[in-house]
Each structure stands twice: as C-alpha cells, then as structure tokens.
Amino acid sequence: MKLTDAEEQLMEMIWDRDRVFMKDLIESYPDPKPATTTIATLLKRMQNKGFVGYELMGNSRQYFPLVKKSAYFSKQVKGLINNFFGSSAMQFASFFTKETDLSAKELEELKKIIETEIKRKNK
C-alpha cells in the first residue's frame, strides 16, 4: 500500500525516531506547523493502512512504525520498475545511471556494489 506525500513525510519522522509522541512530531515540522487535528488524521489513516501503531502512555499515545523503512521503499522501487520499465531492472539501471548525473566517483561506488552483489550471487 502507498502513502500519500503528507503521510510519507510524517512516516519519515516516525522512522527517524522509532517511538514518538504527537507533540514531538508537530515540533519537527517547520513553521507554519500543521494543526494537531491534521496530524491526528494522518496518523489515523496510517494506522488504518497498517504503517503505524501506538502504545498508550498515560493520556498520550506513543507512535511507532509497523513497517520498516527499507521494506516500504523496496516495494515502492519495485512498483516503479514494474510500472515504468516493464518490470525490467536492467532498463531501470540503465536509465538511472544515464539520467541522474552521477559523478565518476559515484559510478565507481555503484560498480563496487554491483561487483559485491555478483560475487554474493555466484556463491
């Protein structure tokens, strides 16, 4: 399931802190800060989607992620590859390396990652 841009921004804050109260989330936003009701609505939608859980701490709720950041982004990237590159990771990699203006150093680092993955898969 996909998060909206606003939910994703809020989810980033939750992933960064692991466990967080609503007041801390609101303080994390730049001015002008969103209304408490806006954040409460986003959190409720994210709970319904299975991304966020909470634990009652007195009268407050401490929110925590139910989905790992890496799992969410992995699924989103796979969806992007399926939707825009005909399920071809090779076409995606080709596009990514040509169109993102990676420096030579970054391409060398990417090459090392690929070589490591090749070694791992050949074992």
Asked if the model's pLDDT at residue 90 lies above 90, the reply is: no
- pTM of the prediction? 0.75
Q: How confident is the model at residue 7 (pLDDT cuts 50, 70, 90)?
A: very high
Bridge partners of 56? 61
pLDDT at residue 23, rounded to an integer:
94
Average pLDDT score, the chain: 92
Pick the CATH number of 5-65 from 3.30.70.980, 1.20.200.10, 1.10.10.10, 3.40.50.20: 1.10.10.10
| Percent over 90 (pLDDT), the chain | 70
Hey, where are the domains in the chain? Answer: 5-65, 69-122
Reported as a single tens digit per residue, the pLDDT across 12-23 is: 999 999 999 999
Residue 22's contacts (CB-CB under 8 Å, 6 or more residues apart) are: 36, 39, 40, 43, 60, 61, 63
State the Cα angle at 85 between 87 and 7, rounded to 5°: 90
Q: How many CB atoms lie within 10 A of CB 37?
A: 8
Q: How confident is the model at residue 102 (pLDDT cuts 50, 70, 90)?
A: confident
